[in-house]
Amino acid sequence: MAEAFPEKILLVDDVRLFLELEKTFLRRVVCEILTASSGEEALEVLRLERPALIVLDDQMPGIGGLETCRRIKSDPDLRSTIVLMASSPGLEPACWDAGADGFVAKPIVQQGFIERIRSFLPALQLRRNERAFVRLEVEAWIGDSVIRTSSRDLSTTGIFIKTDHPAFPGQSVKLRFNLPGAAAPIEARGEVRNRILPEGETRLSPGFGVLFRALGEEERRSIEEYIRRLEGGGEDEEDTSDR
């Protein structure tokens, strides 16, 4: 069975405002977003996570973006990484000289930014819907425990399940759940990402999000079609007024 893994994209900028803006833009496509705030950190993340593409600011303290690009392209283990430099138009020639694969001018515009990235990664899919709020019965295997619970929301890249069972980011999870009208249950493997604890003033149900790491292509299509039916009013979404 073929497995679908979201492409990893690394965003590098020492200015948090720009980093958050780029993250917001990238949520339009199905990918895993990684971040770094310096050239040194970017090189560490590259070696650990092996993203397909890096968006690299040119002016940062320490190792600047141009030098970081040169180091990436001179490293046999990293040189295949697509480097998209983000800079002012006047510095574009220097970016090409450093070995960049592409260039995007600052200030970044969302549509052009997404189109530029998809020109290098054409398999990236635009999100039809960030997520669908829906209650599904879910079985989850985490550590030595089996959890039988329900979902809060679902997308083609992950699911949030309601539970006060302890979990930590990065922990492996095996999942099984049924989509209404589907011939077979969805089975997937993933890892814990965001966690909502039971204490505090939040009105959100406790639980954690799971990023799919191993999801068959047929299962992904089934989820996509189910969300499309929800968008078209073919199914009833969960009432989210208490969140």
Write out pLDDT tens, residues 12-45.
999 988 888 898 888 778 888 999 999 999 999 9
Integer distance in angstroms from the first to the last C-alpha of the chain?
37
Task: Say how many C-beta atoms besides its own lie within 10 A of residue 123's C-beta.
Answer: 9
Q: Measuring CA to CA, which residue among 45, 94, 90, 89 is closest to residue 65? A: 94
Q: Where are the domain boundaries for CATH 2.40.10.220 in the chain?
A: 132-231
Read off the pLDDT band of 242 (50, 70, 90): very low
Please write the tens of the pLDDT for every residue from 137-193.
999 999 889 999 999 889 888 899 999 888 888 899 999 999 988 888 999 999 998
Q: What are the pLDDT digits (tens) for 59-86?
A: 898 899 999 999 999 999 999 999 999 9
Note the pLDDT tens digit of each residue in 98-133: 999 999 999 888 878 988 999 999 888 876 555 678
Specify the length of the chain in residues: 243
Topology (CATH) of 7-120: Rossmann fold (3.40.50)
Cα(206)–Cα(212) distance, integer angstroms: 20
Question: Cα 230 to the chain's mean position, in Å?
Answer: 22
Tokens 């970081």 found at: 68
Neighbours of 236 (CB within 10 A): 10
Return residue ranges of the chain for CATH 3.40.50.2300: 7-120
Q: Which CATH superfamily groups domain 132-231? A: predicted glycosyltransferase like domains (2.40.10.220)
Give the separation between CA 65 and CA 131, rounded to whole angstroms.
Answer: 34
Q: Percentage of the chain with pLDDT > 70?
A: 87
Main-chain dihedrals φ then ψ at residue 28, nearest 5 degrees: -75, -15
Distance CA(11)–CA(36), nearest Å, equals 6
Which is nearest to 213 in space by CA: 3, 2, 1? 3
Is pLDDT at 239 greater than 80 in this prediction? no
Q: Supply the Cα-derived Rg of the chain in whole angstroms.
A: 20
From residue 151, give the alpha-carbon distance in Å to each of 141, 142, 197. 14, 15, 16
Q: Is the pLDDT of residue 198 over 80?
A: no
Contact 194, 209 (CB under 8 A): yes
